[in-house]
Structure 1
Amino acid sequence: MRVKYAINLGILTDTSNPLYAEQQLKNALSILDDSYTHSDQSKQKALAYDCLGIIERRRNNYDKALHYYLTALEIKEKAKDSSKIGRSYHNIAMLFRSQGKYDKAISYMKKALVMRRNDSLDYGVSLSNYGHFLYLKKAHDSALIVLDSAKNYFTAPLYLSDVNRYKAKIYRDKKMYKKALELHKKNLVIYKKEEKIERLASTMKDLAYSARKMNQFDKASRYLDSSEVLAAQYGNKSLLGHLYLERYKIQRDQKNYKKALFYYRTYKKYRDSSKTLEQSARFEKLVLEFRFKQESYRDSLQASTEKIELQRVAKTQRSQKRLFAILFFLAVIALVSLFFLYRYKRKIALRNHQKQELETELLNEKVNFLRFKTERLLMDNKMRIDFKKELLDTIKDLQTKDSSSGVIERYQTILVQLKNQITTEKRLDSVSEVNNMSEANFEIELAERFPTLTKSEREICHLMYLNLSLKEIMNVRNATLSSIKSARYRIRKKLDVPKGEELELFIRKLL
């Protein structure tokens, strides 16, 4: 199972990640060589070597690829598996085709045809490629016969499209452009149905070529436009470059040299980006061809004027492009900077807003708690007032009934104390409404201006602001005289009250 999965991974990733595929295939071969004892050992080894050969062929490492193919062929010959041997011959033929060695490619493809005769699909594929090899050898008539024969072995449309494509190339070389157009149109139907976008784009380009050769320049331009849209979808820069080459040729054939120059330069950009030897050679050919056209009109005043105008326009366009590129780059930098600055400021503002909301919410909770506590205290105080009034009335009643001097004295003392207590608690009750209205604002302002004050010290400041005496504050706070005096001393220090000034008066002036 490890061997099968490793080989399958190699097959699935040989195009997208050839290094990983090569590693998996070599891991499979290592297991096969060391401890593999299954009956399909030779079959798996041959498959792994075939896959390695394909990877090296795509890298243009033809000697290494041939070594892998021959190793796989040797294993298959020992196993006497004729269909697999035919596959190896087919691979070797395709390798020689990639090197341009068409004679060797044809000889190996003939061997493949002999071995693959029992499998109609494989035989048809090899026969189709054999016809293509004959076309490359310029044996057009023989190639057409072979390709027509290959069609009999195919039922799948995609395989038929390959035969049509090879035949269209032959008709194009024989200048039978009408037949080539018909075959390309058949392929368009197949590729649209199978949703093969890359092949659609390439076929549109071939249609444009044949239409141009038939002097159908408008039709050729429409085919090129359709091909460009499709090629842009999957980013085929090589095909885009060839499309501009074909546009250049259309304008050249129509003697629109100004447009031809533009398309030629565009093609040059695509050609330079691809950096392949084949494209470089084609580009040099285009350069020579264009220079020849320019020199052929050198003695003509009109051609000279056009040449000067083209050079001036080209120079102006280059300058404008450079300027636009610089301005665009600066604009992008400015926009990015503004975007990040805006994000930063918005983030800071949001953070400050959240912090302020949290602080306000916390302060409101504190104020609400203090208000609740004060209201409760004032309610209790009012109850005590009512009780003491009732008690006072009772004592007065007793005083009128009992004339004993000792009792009267005692009653009078109680009366004085109760009167003082009622006076104090009435004052507390009288400030209830004022306290409810000013408590929240007083606490907030005091906390903002003097953050060093504790919650207890702010509450004592509030009671002094309401003009309560030390004794009254002791009763409200349920604290001793010494603790209230200590708190007043700390408050004077924290508020920085000048010597000789009353603390209560300072607080009222301050707030």
Structure 2
Amino acid sequence: MYFKTIFFFLFLFILKSNSQNLDSIFISKKEIVKSIKTDEKKALFLYECGEYFYSKNSNKAEYFYREALALNKGKNNLMEGRALFKLGFVEKNEGNLSTSLRYFNKAKDIFKDNNDIERLASVYFDIGYVYRYKNQMDKEFEFYKKGLKLSEGGSETLRGKGYLHLGNYYTRLKKLDSSIYFYNKALYLFKKIKKENRVYNVYNNIANTYYKQGRYAEVINIRSLVLKYAKKENKKLLITVSYHNIAAAYSELDEYDKAEKYLDSAIVVAEEENFKLRLAKSYSSISKVNYSLKNYKAAYLYQQKHKIYSDSIIKSQLTNTLEETELENKHKVETKNLQILNQEEVFEKRLYLIIIFVFLLLGIPLVVLLYRNSVNKNKIIQGNLEKEKIKKEVLQQKFKRSETDIRSLVADNSMRLEFLKQLLLKLKNQRESIDSVEVKNYIKDLSFKIQQQITTDSKLTLLKNKIDIINDGFDNMLVTTYKELTKTEREVCSLLRLNLSVKEIASIRNSSSDAIKVTRYRIRKKMNVPKGEKLEMFIQKLEV
């Protein structure tokens, strides 16, 4: 225990020293930027600074990428695309998947416009990788195929990257022979071109396949090599991932003390770099390890930390999606207003010319003036109609973009509730077998807190707030149009409008699937839904 404490503080000291050194380099590079005269050279230097810090400190890398983007924004050149591409990686590492996808898609359009085939293929792979984290496997595979098609006959590094992604994809499909096939193809290419970082990336993924096959000792050996390489190259994200994955193998071997040690190290690095996605995963794992070690209080506290980071990631994704939609709509409305103002200015100029012409000739009928005025009014009315149409489109976009994130929130909440219920049941069983009154009382108090947490999580406050935003006005429409519907039936209609399944609705309402099916039947009857038409489709077609 003594040596473990010394090692931990030594590790923190090294990290702090490295951080101070990076701070001084960061400041010096900012000073150099001021001395560069042309924007083109300044943007290139900023981008190279971002590349230097990318594997060392993501916040400092993000600063330089954003500065490079600011100098090139709207120019549609390759530097703008490269900066957007890198910012997509930064946002992905921080768990902001919707924002990451937005940056990648903008970079994709720029690379396509500039006919940069190699970078276009690369961004296809990375878009597919984001869809992996969003659990949209069809879209993930679609973009992997696009990337491979573009990379044929081109860069071997790029093709190796595509094979690596496909190997990972087939691993998650549990088609392990296919995954090993693609991993070996990637490994051959990377060794051939002596890409050390890519070789270790493939090793990492092979270890993942071995893990699924139960070959845990081999997993630890391979991932220890990857960890050694990551430390040598100071790749912080790879370091925290490697610690986490080694801990997972030790957990499977029931060596929980070693697993806890590696998870502690993973959390230290992830907290330093603010890797929220990694923190959520590591806190969840260390909670389960402590539970296996019968450290129930620690397991509960770590589970609470997991919940904080998990909810933060989901909330960030929802907020980013809604803000993105609102910004796009605001831009459309502003553009339309400018067009209307330009039309009004043109009309005013024409009106002045007409008045002058009338005064000059004293014979032009007044009807010309009235006609012009009528035309202008029609244009303004048409412009207002266009603005209303845009507002309606943005509401539909909010609904569609939030549906997947709400499903993710329901699944995450259900998994968390199931874990807490199992923990509560085992605590109660443990309490019955213990003689000590003091220990029994402690377990009783802890059980009460967990029961409170279960009750709180079951309310799904965050989800209901988002549902209220998306279904704004929908409930009022149901009350007006279908007066026979009860409050419960209207709430189920709102959830069906989100295209949620019976099981998901039952989980949200803390009810049984049979009860929801009965409610669906009553809704069909009261709304006179035509035979053969799905209830969800009928509700989604209703206009608010």
| Structure 2 length-normalised TM | 0.46
Greater RCO (CA < 8 Å, at least 6 residues apart): 2
| Structure 1 length-normalised TM | 0.49
